[in-house]
Structure 1
Amino acid sequence: MPACRALADDLLKSEAPLDYLVLTQGMATLQGYTPTPPEKGGLDEKLTLHYYSRALLMDALGPLLQKSSDGRCLSVLSGGIHSAYAGYVEDPDLSKGYSLTNAANLAGFYNDIAADALSSAYPGVSFAHASPGFVATSWGTEMPAVVKALVRLLQNLGRSKEDAAEYMFRSLYHDDFKGGGFYIVNQYGENTGTLTSLHKEAKDTVWSHTKEILAKF
């Protein structure tokens, strides 16, 4: 998180317009709740990569995206395919009830909400949360050897990273995503608008939690 803040501060010093912000950082592990060192935020490693660092960069760099004639932000994770995270009130950072399922759903659910909230905070900027589908990449390098071998075998059935990137790139140039707002994008680069049933109910609470976290950096 401090590294993301330092990056944002460096870019903000330039005051140059930012046309595109693409966020893909992540990790695939079977580990339980694993907090980062206190000086790096103390948040779970996976959630830091999948959500909090992304929210920090999206929010911090919003002013530069607004300076562009067509600023767009794309967070690639699980748009439209995750479930809601129902524990957003009592356990907003998963420090009490961590599981792989909860971590996956929280990250996707919160990315939806961040895109929604930031599209209001920065009018004219388009924020998209996308799911790339099943792609043949180096995903899973942190997995145990047996699991990693199975993943590599199954990835022969996935689309190439080049094809996936072409679909994802659509949200950065197509007029369907022009002019601001937030979008949920499927593996074919199409806006589906698919949100969970808890999105509206949870939006203010989740974004308030997020802002409290970001204010520490």
Structure 2
Amino acid sequence: MHCPSLGLLLSSLLVALASLFFYSNAGPGMPTLAAVRTANAAFTPSYKPIAIFVGGTSGIGQGIAEAFARHTRGAAHIVIVGRNRAAADAILAQFPKPKPDDKTQYTHEFVQCDVTLMRNVEAVTKDLRARMPKINFLVMSPGYMALRGRDETEEGLDRKLAVHYYARWKFVDGLLPALRRAKAAGEDARVLSVLSAGHGAEIDLDDLGLKKTFSVSKAAVQAPTYNDLMLQEFAARNPGITFVHAYPGGVRTSILASSESWWIRASYPLVLGLTYPFTTSLHETGEYMLHGLLNRKEGFWRVGSRAEDLGMKNYFGSEEARKRLWEHTVKATAVSSS
């Protein structure tokens, strides 16, 4: 079994620490946690919101789902989409519930889906469209941590890119009719993809999907730009709907502990200890990410770890890249009728 050298491991840790220190600390002009909580608490919609959280069974997605449930006091239809039913049930059980004398209807449910396969995503979005009169919020934050080379699913997509990009595109595309119905009713229609806004690179237009030139480092910087271009194009095609790409910064999650790479799992306690002063809790990150979703007007937005507006800082897109990536994605995520 191949194991990275100690030098490579230590170098990776130092880079991670430097990145966390530089990017995760609030600076001048960024909203404070108290201000963000106050703004989130002011979210009192006149309608019953329907919110979908893809990847909400753990990590950042869990933090955002819990913040949403907290600020709506549970008076919403909340759907957690993921693989782990036991984890989802435990999270849903802790959501606040309207009081017995409160006539507000609420539904908190779990939908199982392995998002590495596009046929699963298509089946779930079809089911949700059929059951939901509209969808107000779509939050996507599924993660995948492994340092092996290209790892193709049976559908021919790299597993990491499938989770971080292709499945997200397919969720948005599949649920657009329900988001449009919410907008037509005069309600919120908002989409949030949590990945790495501002931490991308120029994409390789000659190898979209990285079938020929895949490396872990290349995938790590291509996926954020894929997300930028995806949401920007969806915004251009759907005026009136809000699309947000967020960078959450360093967050204390268990993603390293659940990695398929044994040495990443083994290094988790060390990494957690070294980065702890520079990272935020799931509770705090949930508040910041929810604020980034709720407090943006229609169109395409990029926000940072404190929900601050990143504008087009470190943006690597172009009209040609948007067009070619879109065409590639339509083909790559198509599900055979057979």
TM-score with structure 2 setting the length: 0.59
How many corresponding residue pairs? 209
Deviation of the 1:166 alpha carbon: 0.8
Deviation of the 1:196 alpha carbon: 4.3
Aligned to 1:81: 199
TM-score with structure 1 setting the length: 0.90
Aligned to 2:161: 47
The residue correspondences of 1:100-119 to structure 2 (distance < 5 A) are: 100-119=216-235
Structure 1, residues 132-190: CA drift from partner, whole Å, max 9, x if none? 1001101122153443343433324121111111100112222xx12x20111100112
Runs of 4+ in 1 over 4 A off after TM superposition: none
Instruction: Tell me the amino acid that sits aligned with residue 133 of structure 1.
Output: G
Deviation of the 1:28 alpha carbon: 0.7
Deviates more, 1:150-159 or 1:63-72: 150-159
Tell me the secondary structure at the aligned position of residue 22 of structure 1.
strand
The residue correspondences of 1:11-26 to structure 2 (distance < 5 A) are: 11-26=128-143
Greater radius of gyration (CA):
2
Aligned to 1:96: 212
Distance 2:282 2:198 in 1: 20
Distance 2:261 2:268 in 1: 11
Is the counterpart of residue 214 in structure 1 residue 333 in structure 2?
yes
1:172 to 276, 293, 306: 293
Is the counterpart of residue 27 in structure 1 residue 144 in structure 2?
yes
Contact 1:119-1:182 within 8 A present in 2 as well? yes
Structure 1, residues 87-131: CA drift from partner, whole Å, max 9, x if none? 1x2110111011011111121110000100001122111011111
2:272 to 155, 158, 163: 155
RMSD: 1.7
Distance 1:81 1:155 in 2: 22
Aligned to 2:65: none
Contact 2:169-2:230 within 8 A present in 1 as well? yes
Distance 1:81 1:5 in 2: 29
Deviation of the 1:16 alpha carbon: 1.1
Q: Which runs of 5+ in 2 are unaligned?
A: 1-117
The alignment-based identity, stated in percent, is 33
Distance 1:198 1:80 in 2: 9
Deviation of the 1:197 alpha carbon: 5.4
